[in-house]
Amino acid sequence: MAGLMYQLLSSSALISLGLYHLISSARSYLKSPQSYTAKPFHPLPAASRLRHLQLYLIITFLLIAFAHQTLISSDADPLLKGRTPVHRFTSLQSAAVVFLFLLLALAILLADSTSCLPFPPDLFFALASAIFFLHYSVSSSAASVQTSDLQARCDSVSAQISALAALLCLALACQPRLFIADLGLGAAVCLQGLWALQTGLSLYVEGFIPEGCHRLLDVVSGVEGSTKCDLEDSKLRAVAILDLALILHVMVVMITVLVVYALAARGSSGVRRSGGSYEALPTTAAAAADVNHIQMKALIGTQA
């Protein structure tokens, strides 16, 4: 149950962060396309007390994730190959990656709230790209040592999404005005959140485990929610179901991006229309009256 709760918390945090980044990036771009530049974070348009609310929430979730990964590193996992406690090392590696993200968030907070740490956006995206690539490496290694077929596939897909996020961050580090890469980064974070939800359902909820696979709860010091597919056909079917779920999640993210951009474009066009409606253009009759008035004043002045 603890594993499921952690996956749900991770999913909600990533989806919220991705949606906020999508909305903020789209609004910033549509407001001024010529001067648009990708930002490490988007402060709330509210009082200064809530300006860094996004960073505070990110730091809180990262602290929870770091504590979780550190604590589960002491659990025994008989589902991993060999007698070496590989699970301990993979969990500590994940904790180290989360800690690096935590340091990055703290650096952004210090750079924006104080003047002691100048932190340009391109450096942020370069460091974020390196950490995402490190997460890709750790997730790929975890997938290679798992004997739980569903867990290995879930880790592999998570690694691929992190690799995509690393490439997008690298593109933004080289070209901060690349709006497509900034929008794609928000979409990748949303997709990672949806996949964390899919991972929790596929590993911990009985109704979502594919047919032919089962949870391994009867092993000594087993890991709750770990799954195993006994037959090769069941394994292939389970992997195919996860691949189909990934495609569906990608479709949801694409639709979300289109809807967010459409709503942001509608809102920005409304602002421009309302901003241009303060002064009405003069009508033809009014313009003619002004010309006649000027001519009459000139004629009176000449006669005088």
Residues forming beta bridges with residue 213, ordered by sequence position: 229
pLDDT digits (tens, 9 = 90+) for 160-176: 999 999 999 999 999 99
Output the pLDDT for position 183.
Answer: 94
Least confident of 20-34, 45-59, 81-95, 156-170: 81-95
Least confident of 6-15, 27-36, 95-104, 219-228: 219-228
Share above pLDDT 90 across residues of the chain, in percent, rounded to a whole number: 40
Specify the pLDDT at position 76.
57
Q: What is the pTM of this model?
A: 0.81
Q: Quote the CA–CA distance of 122 and 99 in Å, as a whole number.
A: 21
> Mind listing the pLDDT tens digit for each residue in 105-154?
999 988 888 777 777 888 999 999 999 999 999 888 877 766 677 888 88
Please indicate whether residue 228 or residue 35 has the higher confidence score (pLDDT): 35
Q: What is the pLDDT at residue 6? A: 84
DSSP H or E run through 199: helix 179-204
Are 175 and 38 within 8 A, CB to CB? no
The confidence score (pLDDT) of residue 189 equals: 95
pLDDT recorded at residue 222: 41
Higher-pLDDT residue of 77 and 36 is: 36
pLDDT recorded at residue 224: 46
Q: Of 142, 111, 116, 143, whose CA–CA distance to 127 is shortest?
A: 111
DSSP letter at 227?
A: E
Helices (H), 32-148: 53-72, 86-113, 121-145
Work out the average pLDDT over 197-210: 84
Highest mean pLDDT (candidates 85-89, 147-151, 193-197, 229-233): 193-197
Q: How confident is the model at residue 68 (pLDDT cuts 50, 70, 90)?
A: confident
Selection from 82, 73, 80 nearest residue 219 by Cα: 80
Task: Give 279 or 166, the one with higher predicted confidence.
Answer: 166
Going by C-beta distance under 8 Å and a sequence separation of 6 or more, which residues neighbour residue 122? 172, 173, 174, 176
pLDDT at res. 143: 74
The confidence band for 234, taking pLDDT boundaries of 50, 70 and 90, is confident
Contact 204, 7 (CB under 8 A): yes
27 CB-near residues (< 8 Å, 6+ apart): 264, 267, 268
Residue 139's alpha-carbon distances to 50, 114, 142, 186, 247, in angstroms, are 35, 35, 5, 20, 20
Q: In the beta sheet, which residues pair with residue 146?
A: 80
| Per-position b or e across 240-272, b if 16+ CB within 10 A of its CB | ebbeebbeebeeebeebbeebbeebeeebeeee
Q: Residue 80: what pLDDT?
A: 52
